Amino acid sequence: MLKNKIYIIFILVFALLMPIGYFTGLVPINTLTLWGRYFCLAIAALGVDLIWGYTGILSMTQALFFCMGAYGMGMYMTLSNLPEGQFLPSFMVWNQVTELPFFWVPFDNFSYALVLSILVPGVFAGVLGYFIFRKRIKGVYFAIITQAIALAMFLLFSRNETMLGGTNGLTDFKFFLGFDLRDTSVKFGLYILSLLALGLIYWYCHGLVNSKFGKALVAIRDSESRMRFTKYKVTHYSVAIFMIGAMIAAVGGMLYMPQTGIITPGRMDVQASIEMIIWVALGGRGKLKGAVVGALVLNLMYSVFTTVLPSSWLYILGGLFVITVLYLPKGIVGLVDQMKEKLNSMFVKTA
Amino acid sequence: MLEVKDLKVSFGGLVALNLDTFSIRKNELRVIIGPNGAGKSTFMDIVCGKTKPQQGSVKFKGLELLGRKEVEIAKLGVGRKFQKPSIFSGLTVYDNLLLGLDGPKDVFTSYFYKLASYDKDRIVEVAEKVGLIDDLTMIAGSLSHGKKQWLEIAIVMLQDSELMLIDEPAAGMSDVEAEKTGNLLCDLSKKHSVIVIEHDMKFVEQIAIEKVSVLVRGQMLTEGTFQEVRNNQEVIDCYLGSANSAQQKAHS
Amino acid sequence: MKNKISIFVAFLMVVIGWTQEVESYSIPLDTCVNVLLHKDATRLKEVATCLVTNDDIATYPLISAIVDKRLFVYKGTAVTKFPGDTLYYSVYPKLETISVQQEKLSEVNFPRSIRTKFNVLSKKVNLVHPNKSVREMSFRSFKTTGVLSDVDFLTSLKINEEEEEVLLAADEAIYSIWLHSNNAALQNKVLSELEENMNVHMLDPLLDYVALKENTNVEGKERAKKIIENIESREKTINVIQNLFSGISLGSILLLVALGLSIIYGLGGVINMSHGEFVMIGAYTAFSVQQFFIGFLPESWFDLFFWASLPLSFVVSGCFGLLVEKLVIRHLYSRPLESLLGTWGVSLILIQLARTIFGDVTAVKSPEILSGGINVTQGLMLPYNRLFIIGLTLVMVLLTYFVFFKSKLGLKIRAVTQNRDMSASLGVSVKRIDSLTFFLGSGLAGVAGCAMTLIGNVVPNMGQTYIVDSFLVVVVGGVGKLIGTIISALGLGVLSKVFEFFYEAVYGKVILLLIIFFFLQYKPKGLFPDKGRHSDD
Least reliable range by pLDDT among A317-331, C158-172, C281-295, C313-327: C158-172
Least reliable range by pLDDT among A294-308, C166-180, C323-337: C166-180
Mean pLDDT to the nearest integer, C441-446: 93
**How high is the pLDDT of residue C3?**
58
Nearest to C331 among A226, A270, A326 (CB): A326
Residue contact B89–A236, C-beta within 8 A = no
**How high is the pLDDT of residue A1?**
44
Calculate the alpha carbon distances from C364 to C286, C294, C349, C373, C457 in Å.
7, 12, 23, 19, 7
What confidence tens digit (pLDDT) does each residue in B125-150 have?
Answer: 889 888 888 888 889 988 888 888 88
Residue contact B91–A218, C-beta within 8 A = yes
- Res. C20: pLDDT tops 60: no
Domain range for B15 is: 2-251
* CB < 8 Å & 24+ apart, contacts of C500-509: C500/C243, C501/C239, C501/C243, C506/A155, C506/A156, C506/A158, C506/A159, C509/A151, C509/A152, C509/A155
Which one has a higher pLDDT value, B36 or B251? B36
**Residues whose CB is less than 8 angstroms from the CB of residue B150 and which lie 6 or more positions away in sequence, other chains included:** B130, B131, B132, B181
Considering chain C, what percentage of its residues have pLDDT values greater than 70? 92
Mean pLDDT to the nearest integer, B49-58: 86
Calculate the alpha carbon distances from A322 to A51, A275, A297 in Å.
22, 13, 17
Q: How far apart are CA C265 and CA A305, in angstroms?
A: 34
Contact C318, C247 (CB under 8 A): no
Least reliable range by pLDDT among A91-100, B4-13, C205-214, C247-256: C205-214
- Res. C75: pLDDT tops 90: no
**Residues whose CB is less than 8 angstroms from the CB of residue C362 and which lie 6 or more positions away in sequence, other chains included:** C284, C287, C457, C458, C459
Helix axes C150-160, C164-180, angle to 10 degrees: 160
Residue A40: pLDDT band with limits 50, 70, 90: very high
**How high is the pLDDT of residue A124?**
95
Calculate the alpha carbon distances from A250 to A126, A253, B126, B214 in Å.
14, 5, 43, 59
Mean pLDDT to the nearest integer, C532-537: 43
Pairing of strands B55-60, B63-64: antiparallel
Find which of B10, B11, B69 to mutate to test the C interface (most C CBs within 10 Å of its CB). B11
Nearest to C470 by CA among C266, C253, C317: C253
- Res. C291: pLDDT tops 80: yes
Nearest to C471 among A135, A144, A277 (CB): A144
- Which residues of chain C have a CB within 8 Å of the CB of A319? 345, 349
Which one has a higher pLDDT value, B27 or C156? B27
Contact C237, C376 (CB under 8 A): no
**How high is the pLDDT of residue A350?**
58
- Res. B63: pLDDT tops 90: no
Residue C13: pLDDT band with limits 50, 70, 90: low
What confidence tens digit (pLDDT) does each residue in B193-218 have?
Answer: 899 988 778 888 888 888 888 888 88
Q: How far apart are CA A288 and CA A254, in angstroms?
A: 21
Nearest to C535 among B16, B42, B84 (CB): B84
Q: How far apart are CA B27 and CA B29, in angstroms?
A: 7
Nearest to B42 among C531, C533, C535 (CB): C533
Q: How many CB atoms lie within 10 A of CB C177?
A: 23
CA angle C286, C290, C293 (to 5 degrees): 140
**Residues whose CB is less than 8 angstroms from the CB of residue C185 and which lie 6 or more positions away in sequence, other chains included:** none
Residue contact A226–B110, C-beta within 8 A = no
Residue contact B12–C531, C-beta within 8 A = yes
Residue C21: pLDDT band with limits 50, 70, 90: very low
- Res. A6: pLDDT tops 90: no
- Res. C30: pLDDT tops 80: no
- Within 13 Å and on the Cβ side, how many CA atoms surround A166? 10
Residue contact C475–A326, C-beta within 8 A = no
**Residues whose CB is less than 8 angstroms from the CB of residue C147 and which lie 6 or more positions away in sequence, other chains included:** C177
CB proximity B51 to C under 8 Å? yes
- Res. C322: pLDDT tops 90: yes
User: What phi, psi does C426 have (nearest 5°)?
Assistant: -90, 10
**How high is the pLDDT of residue C209?**
73
Mean pLDDT to the nearest integer, C22-51: 72
CB proximity C535 to B under 8 Å? yes
Mean pLDDT to the nearest integer, C251-267: 87
Contact C92, C59 (CB under 8 A): yes
Going across the sheet that includes C77-81, the strands are C96-98, C88-90, C77-81, C71-74, C106-107
Interface of B with C in 188-217 (CB under 8 A): none
Residue contact B42–C537, C-beta within 8 A = no
CA angle B195, B200, B205 (to 5 degrees): 70
Pure H helices in C59-160: 60-67, 112-117, 122-125, 132-145, 150-160
Q: How far apart are CA C309 and CA C301, in angstroms?
A: 13
**How high is the pLDDT of residue C111?**
79
- Indicate the average pLDDT of chain B: 84
- Res. C537: pLDDT tops 60: no
> Closest Cα of chain A to B18: distance in Å?
25
CB proximity B42 to C under 8 Å? yes
- Which residues of chain B have a CB within 8 Å of the CB of A230? 74, 99-100, 105, 155, 159
CA angle C13, C14, C17 (to 5 degrees): 80
Least reliable range by pLDDT among A15-19, B76-80, B223-227, B240-244: B240-244
Residue C277: pLDDT band with limits 50, 70, 90: very high
Mean pLDDT to the nearest integer, C471-477: 87
- Res. A62: pLDDT tops 90: yes
Least reliable range by pLDDT among B138-142, C92-96, C285-289, C314-318: C92-96
What confidence tens digit (pLDDT) does each residue in B71-117 have?
Answer: 889 888 888 888 888 889 889 999 999 998 888 888 888 888 888 88
Q: What is the CATH number of the domain that holds B223?
A: 3.40.50.300
ipTM value = 0.88
Residue contact C532–B11, C-beta within 8 A = yes
- Which residues of chain B have a CB within 8 Å of the CB of C532? 11-12
Contact C262, C481 (CB under 8 A): yes
What confidence tens digit (pLDDT) does each residue in C479-513 have?
Answer: 767 888 889 998 888 888 888 877 777 888 888 88
Calculate the alpha carbon distances from C519 to A135, A143, C527, C536 in Å.
11, 16, 9, 22
User: What phi, psi does C117 have (nearest 5°)?
Assistant: -60, -30
Which one has a higher pLDDT value, C536 or C185? C185
Q: How far apart are CA C439 and CA C418, in angstroms?
A: 19
**How high is the pLDDT of residue B240?**
64
Nearest to A224 by CA among A284, A128, A137, A145: A137
**How high is the pLDDT of residue C141?**
78
- Res. C155: pLDDT tops 50: yes
Please give the span between the terminal C-alpha atoms of chain B, in angstroms, as a whole number: 45
What are the residue ranges spanned by the domains of chain C?
A: 2-219, 246-477
Residue contact B11–C531, C-beta within 8 A = yes
- Which residues of chain A have a CB within 8 Å of the CB of B71? 228, 231-234
**How high is the pLDDT of residue C8?**
55
Please give the span between the terminal C-alpha atoms of chain C, in angstroms, as a whole number: 82
Q: How far apart are CA C66 and CA C74, in angstroms?
A: 15
Nearest to B86 among A213, A223, A231 (CB): A223
All partners of chain A with 3 or more CB pairs under 8 angstroms: B, C
> Closest Cα of chain C to B12: distance in Å?
7
What confidence tens digit (pLDDT) does each residue in A103-145 have?
Answer: 888 998 899 999 999 999 999 999 999 988 988 887 888 888 8
Q: How far apart are CA C212 and CA B8, in angstroms?
A: 76
Nearest to C271 by CA among B194, A145, A314, B87: A145
What confidence tens digit (pLDDT) does each residue in B173-196 have?
Answer: 888 888 888 888 888 888 888 999
Contact A51, A61 (CB under 8 A): no
- Which residues of chain C have a CB within 8 Å of the CB of A140? 265, 271, 336-337, 340
- Res. C185: pLDDT tops 80: no
**How high is the pLDDT of residue B250?**
47
**How high is the pLDDT of residue C166?**
79
DSSP class of residue B139 equals B
Q: How far apart are CA A217 and CA A210, in angstroms?
A: 10
Note the maximum CA span of chain B.
74
Least reliable range by pLDDT among A169-178, A284-293, A323-332: A169-178
**How high is the pLDDT of residue B246?**
45
**Residues whose CB is less than 8 angstroms from the CB of residue A99 and which lie 6 or more positions away in sequence, other chains included:** A88
Q: By CB neighbour count within 10 A (0-12 exposed, 13-18 middle, 19+ buried), where does C34 fall?
A: middle
Mean pLDDT to the nearest integer, A39-43: 95
- Which residues of chain A have a CB within 8 Å of the CB of C478? none
Residue A172: pLDDT band with limits 50, 70, 90: confident
**How high is the pLDDT of residue A139?**
80
Total tally of structural domains belonging to chain B: 1
- Which residues of chain B have a CB within 8 Å of the CB of A213? 107, 110-111, 113
- Res. B249: pLDDT tops 50: no
Which one has a higher pLDDT value, A349 or C33? C33
Q: How far apart are CA A212 and CA B108, in angstroms?
A: 10
> Closest Cα of chain A to C388: distance in Å?
30
- Res. C214: pLDDT tops 80: no
Please give the span between the terminal C-alpha atoms of chain A, in angstroms, as a whole number: 20
Helix (H) or strand (E) holding B161: none
- Res. C533: pLDDT tops 50: no
Nearest to A145 by CA among A169, A161, A129: A129
Residue contact C531–B16, C-beta within 8 A = no
Residue contact B51–C533, C-beta within 8 A = yes
- Res. C392: pLDDT tops 90: yes
CB proximity C533 to B under 8 Å? yes
